[in-house]
A and B are shown apart, each in its own frame.
Chain A
């Protein structure tokens, strides 16, 4: 909060002394000019990345006038420039975030540029996967040497693309398993951010990109028992919910809590998809042998994530009362049960529909208790989505579907009216 505008008024009213006022003014002046100002950092990074990309594009023109030797030397220029800048920052400007983030961003781009330019000069056909892997690995140390969060973000993007390339975008290879080790490489930096800059912009970026990366890559573990990916994703979303409810992030603005938003939207989306019968029909006719089931990477992934989430859930139980419990965190356990039921019977579809309905109602209740229109309407939206999905199931009669829509529509009106009225009465 910037108090400078109010300072004269505060001094005049005798709330603060003149000395305090000038001390406050000095503080903000200093903050504005220091190179740790967020604006400096943002523009520094943007500038470096743009300059880096500009150099790549100019060199990618592949000037025929230049000989092979000249081109090769030029390919090293951005790399060496980046390294020298980083060295300068490392020894002379190590306290300036703006310098170290900008220099790291430039060097990050330069490493990729020089490898791809050499590939161009020698007509080396690209293997995008191994290129991304080499590039990311060569830049991993920058995160810790330069204490650079932009390097960490670019690295996460790099390894996520690598896992996608190795698994989703090209024919099967097991290389993408490396992702899990590479991913661990960034966690110490995340912990460092949490300890030292828990409310910084970079922490917020990490709170989004760390779960998104996992969400994208989890599917790459799939081999022959893809059906098991559904419980794996459920457990992961449950884990995200529990993490999003941890102390370090719970009281931040909702838009900064990537874990909670991803998990809420993801869980409801998945439940809605599963409220149709295709997946369950498919599951019922798939026969796994017990051994196949236990050794499947999808099962191992589900087990690991569920154990982690279960641990967090137990921790929560111990530390907080039953009342403050959010309904979504129970779904994690409930889904494992539903999945087991679904392997043998269609009752799972009914249970899933019931879960979505319960989730909607509990969210509405939550919104009403907190006097929060947004949360309450989100609950109503969940129910609307459920009803819309059922609209497409032709085996329900028009009358029943009509009544369902009428009920939800009336609910929207009456609940919003009730909450607004409650507010005016209190005011």
Chain B
């Protein structure tokens, strides 16, 4: 009987751990969605195919670069905090980067150095995948490519940021969500 009790306890602990991991992911992201600040990041997309997670668009960003002091050394893959601000046109850009957590603002990303150019630092944005319904990913890519050629249209990702965490909420072409564009095109 004693053995059975220990077994039961172990079983419950394992089950809780297995539930905790996905639940923690959800809670973290929901917190950012509810109280994080909204930013628009200018994008340029491509579409690969991940068998395991359905289909998504890979986004790359044009403003993931910041000027840094030439003498300061940053390693590839190093953890950094990137302070995000909004420019006059309403789009997000990196104001500065640091190794220490910024104290005066909540609007920063906890991320990694992509690579170090001459007095320029390229930063990884941890929201480069936008998952679409399987049947829409291909059409979405086509619409994107057309709009990338068209310099009058603007594509951007709507991202919420809070204390290092970021959640990609939606992707827009000229203020219309990409999903709606795909549906309208059918």
Contact = CB atoms under 8 A, between A and B. Distances in A.
Given A118-B25, A124-B25, A83 B15 contact: yes
A171 interface: yes
Interface in B79-136: 126-136
Contacts of B55: 62
A122 interface: yes
Interface residues of B, number: 36
B78 to A, nearest CB: 12
At the interface, is chain A mostly helix, strand, loop or mixed?
Answer: helix
Contacts of A64: 133, 136, 179
B19 A79 contact: yes
A72 B25 CA distance: 11
B50 to A, nearest CB: 7
B21 A134 contact: yes
Interface of B: 7-8, 10-11, 14-15, 17-19, 21-22, 25-26, 29, 50, 52-56, 76-77, 126-136, 167-168, 179
Contacts of A115: 21-22, 25
A126 interface: yes
A204 B75 CA distance: 46
B18 to A, nearest CB: 5
Give the 7 A-B residue pairs with the shortest CB-CB distance, closest first: A60-B54, A123-B168, A122-B29, A64-B133, A141-B14, A125-B129, A61-B134
B25 A123 contact: no
Nearest to A65: B133
A55 to B, nearest CB: 13
A202 interface: no
A381 interface: no
22 contacts: A61-B134, A62-B55, A62-B132, A62-B133, A64-B179, A80-B19, A90-B11, A114-B22, A115-B25, A118-B26, A119-B53, A122-B25, A122-B167, A123-B56, A123-B127, A123-B130, A125-B128, A126-B129, A134-B21, A138-B14, A138-B17, A173-B77
Contacts of A90: 7, 11
A123 B54 contact: no
B184 to A, nearest CB: 14
Given A79-B19, A123-B131, A145 B11 contact: yes
A90 B179 CA distance: 45
Interface in A163-200: 171, 173
Given A63-B133, A120-B56, A124-B25, 14 more contacts: A56-B52, A61-B54, A62-B55, A62-B134, A75-B22, A76-B22, A123-B56, A134-B21, A141-B10, A142-B14, A145-B10, A145-B11, A145-B14, A171-B76
Contacts of A384: none
